[in-house]
Amino acid sequence: MWSFVTGLLSSAALFHSYILYPWHMRRAARHQEDFEPLESFPEVVILMAARNEEKHIRPKVLSVFRSSYPKAKIKFYVGTDACTDQTDPILEELTTVYPGLRHRRFETRTGKPRIIQALYEEVCLENPEDSILVLTDADTLLEEKTLAELVLPFGETNVGGVQARILAIQPDQTQATKVSAPEIQYLEREMITKQGESQRGCVMGGYGALMALRCSDFVKVPEGFIVDDFYWFAAILRKGRRVVFASNAVARMPIEGDAAVQFRRKRRLGKGNLQNLWAFRTLALNRRLAYAWISHKVIRWLSPWLLLVTVLSWGWALSGSAWGLALVLLGGIEFTALLILIQRNRRTPAVWAQRLGAPLHFLHMNLALALGAWDLLWEKLRGRQARVWWDNQKP
């Protein structure tokens, strides 16, 4: 009896988080939120960390300073993390063209969170507290009105954070892979979910490609934390402030099509997500935030273990014996191995890759989350933390 109950509860939780909740948020997203025009443009301070981004850095800077936002009110701080390519020379050249661009080199590997913190300490000394802080990535391109649309919601005093709409730069046929298609679909679903959450002012987690908050709301992320963009928005929500979605603030970013790189990225995120899960555990007791927090984040981050409970519980309930349970587990392992082989085999027919895209993405995401949890546990056991982290860099 207990196996049937636990299997039913774990299955229901996964169904709610991955199917029912996104459907609910999609319906809520139909009602787009309108914000009153600002009386004047506030000063915008953009912080960005970059490592070996010679391919993206020039288009990125141009997309910022060629926007419709008043140039005199843009200050763009870029910290480069021990670059070994032409990123630093390109930035030095661009600082002579755009006075609002500031470049600081970090000669030893420092990591994104600590670079952002160091840049912010400079911002505090040079800019007023009522400035709008914009956090972004080097490969994310802004459109002409993106900055103006991003700061628009801050006209409401109870708004502390704003998430931009991130769209994928569609790869051409030669660059498209079996990985990029489900990643693009996942990104689109996440943006719709955040738009739905915005109706209650509780967007769960910032998407670091482009997000904004008030300078006065910036907080230092604890040492060793990885997913800093989630931490900043969650800290604002914990204060009772609103975090909203700016649907017209559009930014575009390429989607990494390498399966190994995406897996490493999700594994690191899995580690960082559990750090945030513990840090913000009290959000589950907040009447305004609990539904989104548990549905969108807690269940998702615990989904590898819910999947394991589901398999074990239903396996025992249906087989009624240890031998039957062992066969169920063996079948699950073989099915998992088959899916991984299909994805990694470059000769797999496109029709099969397309049909299995969603289950493969789900499988890889949860496997990466589980390994990320192991990484966090192993660090705790050793008493050491990995201090440098970078998202999409290949080893």
User: Any idea which residue has 């190994």 for tokens?
Assistant: 260
Say if residues 191 and 165 touch (Cβ distance below 8 Å). Answer: yes
- Out of 3.30.160.100, 3.90.550.10, 3.30.70.920, 2.60.120.560, which CATH number does the structure's domain 31-259 have? 3.90.550.10
Q: Which amino acid is at 85?
A: D
In a 10 Å sphere around its CB, with 0-12 CB exposed, 13-18 middle and 19+ buried, how is residue 258 labelled? middle
Distance CA 221, CA 231 (A): 7
37 phi and psi, to 5 degrees?
-60, 150
pTM score, whole prediction = 0.86
Look up residue 59 and give its two tokens: 């288009």
Distance CA 168, CA 351 (A): 22
Phi-psi region of 300 (alpha: psi -120 to 50; beta: other; left: phi over 0): alpha
308 phi and psi, to 5 degrees?
-65, -45
Sheet with 101-106, strands from edge to edge, namely 101-106, 74-81, 44-50, 132-136, 210-214, 159-169, 242-254, 141-142
How many of the other CB atoms lie within 10 Å of CB of 245? 26
Distance CA 213, CA 132 (A): 6
pLDDT in tens, the chain (395 residues): 677 788 889 889 999 999 999 999 999 998 877 888 888 899 999 999 999 999 999 999 999 999 999 999 999 999 999 999 999 999 999 999 999 999 999 999 888 888 999 999 888 767 777 789 999 999 999 999 999 999 999 999 999 999 999 999 876 544 445 556 778 888 999 999 999 999 999 999 889 899 999 998 998 888 878 778 899 999 999 999 999 999 999 999 988 766 677 778 888 888 888 889 999 999 999 999 999 999 999 999 999 889 888 877 877 676 666 656 666 666 666 556 655 555 555 444 444 444 555 666 777 788 888 888 888 887 777 766 655 445 444 44
Distance CA 109, CA 50 (A): 11
CA proximity to 45, closest of 164, 135, 105 = 135
Look up residue 333 and give its two tokens: 């392992």
Say if residues 250 and 143 touch (Cβ distance below 8 Å). Answer: yes
Greatest alpha-carbon span in the chain = 74
Tell me the HSE value of 245 on the side-chain side, using a 13 A CA sphere: 26
Distance CA 137, CA 148 (A): 18
How many of the other CB atoms lie within 10 Å of CB of 278? 8
Task: For strands 74-81 and 101-106, give the pairing.
Answer: parallel
pLDDT digits (tens, 9 = 90+) for 347-391: 444 444 445 556 667 777 888 888 888 888 877 777 666 554 454
pLDDT, position 339? 56
